[in-house]
Structure 1
Amino acid sequence: MHSSQFPAMYAEIAVALAAGLLSWAYQTIKPPLPKICGSPGGPPITSPRVKLSDGRHLAYREMGVPKEEAKNKIIVIHGFDDSKNLSLPVSQETIEELSIYFLFFDRAGYGESDPYPSRSVKSEAYDIQELADQLQIGSKFYVIGMSMGAYPVYGCLKYIPHRLSGASLVVPFVHYWWPSLPANISKQGFQKLCTADQRTFQVAHHTPGYSTGG
């Protein structure tokens, strides 16, 4: 073999070794496939669930006065790393005085609800509508979005506004570069974030294809 061929051969071997190591590392750190609640070997189902028209299940929790007697029916949407079991700081006295029925649910892929890899803002809105219909809470209801649960509220406002009595956001994920939001308010809100969150928003804003601007 000609001596000039050795460097090329060594490079090919190095590339093959690197590829093998990367493949091994990926298989090592790759998380196992999630086990769906109620499936063989999966976590047990401990909460009531509804079956959606596409076959998926959504788990839910009810709180407050009976829905048949309630004057105000509110669907609460949890945020990232949370579930239908979130704690809502509202007193029993307030619940009874305002005759409130609360409906909490695990969003697709959270808690005891089935995963939905194709989940979108639109699908989340229609999940909420179908959940409300299956539980027969009425033609109109309120929605409250907590943190990252804010974007399904935006979806409800866009896709099912005729079903809403009102909408509210609690510590929501905010679009700080939204042109319809006054610049001084955006700036004040952004500056109140911790440094790590500010950097996260800036990276998302300036990443091509994922920009929060416009």
Structure 2
Amino acid sequence: MSRPVFVSVLLVLLSALVYRGLQPPPPRICGSPGGPPVTAPRIVLRDGRHLAYKEHGVPKDAARHKIIFVHGFGSCRHEALIVTRTPPEIIDELGVYVVSFDKPGYGESDPDPKRTMKSLALDIEELGDRLGLGERFYVAGFSMGGQSVWGCLKYIPHRLAGAVLIAPVINFWWPGFPTNLSIQAFSQQPLSDQWALRVAHHAPWLNYWWNTQKWFAPSSVFAGRPRLSRQDVELLPKLVRERQQSYRAEVKQQGEMESICRDMMIGFGKWEFDPMELENPFPNEEWRSVHLWQGDEDTLVPTSLQRHIIGKLPWIRYHEIPGAGHMFPIADGMSESIVRSLLSDH
């Protein structure tokens, strides 16, 4: 074999090895041969995918208020924080029914490699229709699930009775941010997170490899070692214990690519819209409202950027909690306050 031919063959082999190393393993679909079992109720969506859900609160037919809850990063349908942390007697008093669901690729919901902010909003709309929640329902989302609420405000505002974003994760590349403000907030993130977020935004095809390789530090949140506030240090161990005892194994059982990696790629990727350009979905219906809750010591979501968003969208009712970190919804009394504020005008 001549030298040029040998080099060409070697380059092809090396390229194949690199390509193979960058490819995530295929997801282990729930209910497929060798895959995890199906234990949750599920609906079949418009494209044939299954969406797993869990019902909480008062019976649906007796409820005065119906809420769809969207979980955060590395979570699942079992963590419907606004209802699981609210005393049952309060839920009964308010007549609240909540349905939480596994986002595509999480828990027992089928992956959606084509997932976008719009497709997830349409999944939520279809879940409401399949469960008979009526013409309008509330949406609530925590952390990365809060981003999904932005999608609902953009794509299905006509289906909403109200909405609440709880410590919603921010995309540093939203064009509505002044450059100096977003750069300052970005520079305050851990260095490993800065690189992981750049990869998720600029080279999403590298996202899985970047966060699973062993050469250098991945995203701290992906690795389960996020920087925590003082309050989070006190609150998080309780949630971690509950998760480990009951449903931790479910969260990523179909694989990390279509669950947490897909969340990162969408959450920090190139959005189809800028939340700061949204219009009030209820301009002539003052009894309906949108709320945003944020801790002023949140180390994961910069409060400075959240305040800027609110300045651009004065129709959102802003609740900033002094001394609170990212996990403030699990503090005593907070979930009740969030639910009561959402329903206070109805």
Relative contact order (C-alpha < 8 Å, sep 6+): which is higher? 2
Q: In terms of mean alpha carbon deviation, does 192-201 or 149-158 score higher? A: 192-201
Cα separation, partners in 2 of 1:20 and 1:190, compared to 1, 3 Å: closer
Could you tell me which of 49, 53, 56 is aligned with 2:46? 53
Match of 2:170 among 166, 169, 174: 174
The corresponding residue for 2:36 is 43
State the 1:32 CA deviation. Answer: 3.3
Aligned pair partner of 2:130 in 118, 127, 134:
134
Structure-2 change in CA distance of 1:41 and 1:94 (3 Å): same
- Name the residue aligned to 2:11: 18
SS of structure 2 residue aligned to 1:115:
coil
State the identity as a percent. 49
Residue 71 (structure 2) pairs with residue 74 (structure 1):
no
Q: Secondary structure at the match of 1:145?
A: strand
**CA distance, structure 2, for counterparts of residue 72 and residue 53 of structure 1:** 26
| Correspondence 1:78-117 to 2 at 5 A | 78-86=71-79, 88=81, 90-92=85-87, 93-117=89-113
Q: Is the 8 A contact 1:204 1:211 kept in 2?
A: no
1:40–1:70: structure 2 CA closer, same or farther, 3 Å change rule?
same
Partner in structure 2 of residue 148 of structure 1 = 144
Q: 1:70 to 1:190 in 2, by over 3 A?
A: farther
Distance verdict in 2 for CA 1:72–1:183, change over 3 Å: farther
Task: Map Cα deviations across residues 182-214 of structure 1 (whole Å, 9 max, x no partner).
Answer: 889868865764444345556667x499668x8
Moved more, 30-39 or 128-137: 30-39
Deviation of 1:75 (Å):
0.8
Once residues 182 and 7 of structure 2 are traced to their aligned partners in structure 1, the CA distance between those partners, rounded to angstroms, is 51
Return 95-104 or 58-67, whichever deviates more: 95-104
Task: Provide the C-alpha distance between the structure 2 equivalents of 1:116 and 1:34, rounded to a whole number of angstroms.
Answer: 11
Q: Can you list the C-alpha shifts for 1:24-51, whole angstroms capped at 9, x where unaligned?
A: 4544674432232112222210000011
TM-score by length of 2: 0.51
User: Cα–Cα, structure 1 residues 197 and 98, in superposed 2: closer, same or farther, change >3 Å?
Assistant: farther
Q: Which whole-Å CA distance do the structure 1 matches of 2:57 and 2:63 have between them?
A: 8
Aligned positions of 1:175-190 closer than 5 A: 175-176=171-172, 178=174, 180=176
Mind listing any 5+ residue stretches in structure 2 that lack a counterpart? 205-268, 275-346
Q: CA RMSD in A?
A: 3.4
Give the greater-gyration-radius structure (CA).
1
Structure 1 counterpart of 2:45, one-letter code: L
Given that 2:71 and 2:80 are in contact with CA atoms closer than 8 Å, whether structure 1 keeps it comes out as no
- Kindly provide the amino acid, as one letter, of the partner of residue 56 in structure 2: M
Instruction: Count residues in correspondence.
Output: 206
Q: Out of 32-41 and 171-180, give the one that drifted further.
A: 171-180
- Structure 2 counterpart SS, 1:94: helix
Confirm or deny: 8 A CA contact 1:145 1:172 kept in the other structure. yes
Decide whether the 8 Å contact of 1:150 with 1:169 is kept in 2.
yes
User: Is there any run of 5+ residues in structure 1 with no aligned partner, and where?
Assistant: 1-5
